[in-house]
Structure 1
Amino acid sequence: MVGTTTAQRRRSALASIVTLITAFALLFGASAANAAPNAPDEGDDKSLREVLEAASKGHIEAKAKLDNSKKRQGELAAQYDALQQQLVALTDEVGTMAAESYRLGRLTSVTMLLNSASPENMLERAAGLDVMAQREGRNLRALNEAHEQAARAKAAIDNEVREQEKQVAIMARKKQDAQRALAAVGSQASGGFISTTSAAAQPAPRNSNGSWPSESCNVDDPTTSGCITPRTLHAMNQAKAAGFTRYVSCFRSGGSGEHPKGRACDFSAEAGGFKDRDATGDNRTYGNNLAAYYVNNADRLGVLYVIWYRQIWMPGNGWSSYNGGGSPAGDHTNHVHLSML
């Protein structure tokens, strides 16, 4: 009887353990499945990442508006130049018509009677002066309209100049925001990673005005069971096409930054996956080249920022030192981090 009781207790304890394991699996299974098994724990500073994201996004949006304004200004300038040429031609033509009208005299009953040798001559002269008057009226109306169009074009150009000044000021403020946030954690300008041999990526789709379309996390992430944005997938595929084919992990359900939004990827410096050690030799060269690739193609792809080997690159701010806490994952010395708009 005692043996039976002990066996029952053992079975009951085993059942409890199985139940707990099942509960944990159900609770955390989705999160574990959504991330790569050896995805790096970057130890994100949430407040810092939020400031950097806002600063980079604000800079990129202002830059797109600035570029669009410059494009419109160029179109308006061409229109204004064409109108100026039209004004010169119309002014000359109106002047010629005025001189001819002055030489022949205006059509009145007196001039017709005094200067006409015959009734037929009088009618011919009347018809000629009437045609001249009509032409002169058309030219004068065209001249006035050209003047008004030129004035409107000039006012539109002035508006574009003011818009550009506004966007330049916004870009300056966003740069200051980023610099203050980085300075608060001991960061300062650095040399970064530069390559003049990076391949040119195929540009990601933009709106007709040059801005970046808003995207949600609605594309299957090929590196996890999560999701990423179409622009993030495009950036990852472009890097692969350029020869950067080592291990990648994008979506993570937890943490701060862009990973949970499907707008970030971590690229291992080593071919076999993320290792808890600083990249050296060929692995570090791989990371250097990949970081440079994304910086050189930032405007084509919609890059928000890049972190690699204790340095961070942001549009408008360039490379700055980056302290992630000392670990290879936190300092990003074992992987390149890419964040996208």
Structure 2
Amino acid sequence: MAVASSAGRRRGLLRVLGTTALLTALCPGLTAAVPLTALADPKPSVKKLEKELAALQKESDKLIEDYYHGRREQQQAEKAEKAAREKLAGSQEVFDRHATELRAMAITQYMTGGSENMALLTGVEDRGGLIRRLALTRHLADEQHAKLSGFARVRDGHRQAKEEAEARADELDATVKDLAGRREKAEATIEKIRDKIDQLHKAPGRRSDGTFVPQLPDGSDNVTPRMRLVKSLIERRFGTGPGIGCYRPIQDGGEHPLGRACDFMLSRGGAFPSPAEVQRGHAIAEWAIKNARRLGIMYIIYRQRIWHVRTGSWRVMTDRGGTTANHYDHPHISVY
């Protein structure tokens, strides 16, 4: 009887597979739109996640390399732009000095040119004086020509330096924008890698219906395996900061003496944390919310607010009278 049942099951499976092949041949889009349960793979295997993680890590390494290459390009562009600005400033100084000299020469010529020409026309002076005046006039004309030529060179150099400085500034802006794009892309890829790492871990003691079996604390740290997993994942992603406090023997009605809670400190001695540490606390809380159902996280307390997995939202808590008591210097995480 068991053999007949086994054979019947095989024939039934063959009929399913035959029907699937026929549907695929006749309606290729149908099986994609309505996947059959017998062929579906809703949960990626650990091996598949590890393969995806390795690919993302490789992509991330390439992006980070591109990012640092972009930083070097930015530094070179900044150096070139600074040199162009210094060159422009020097050229401007020479330009202004030559312009002042030319203006002074023009004024002098305007004020003395008339009387000199009149003397040449009337012949008031003797022949020797006339020759000297002609030589002086020629000398002044040559000097003026030299100054005008020098001014033209300075003017052209000034224009070239200005154009070069503007070009370097445009190049710097483009490099900075490109670098920002590379950094955003690298950070997005790294975030994907972190998510993949998180997905490789499942909270121990989870039932098929999504609830969690009770656990006893163990080990030298006196925390449950479930709390230890959450703590290690947070340490890996966000670091330890000023410290992490979990088990404490004081029976205060909470989860700390049960080994089911940890405080992820952002400052020491009750001091208010820095803006960067406050943001790190927000990041830890957001991560815990994102992974709560998978890791068995029951609730989170941070900055006088509590989030519970049953409600899925934050609510304000009563004032307990201090930075630490109101959880302004640390997020608190409790697990089932």
TM-score (ref. length: structure 2): 0.41
Q: Which has the higher contact order (CA 8 A, sep 6+)?
A: 1
Larger Rg: 2
TM-score (ref. length: structure 1): 0.40
Higher helix share: 2
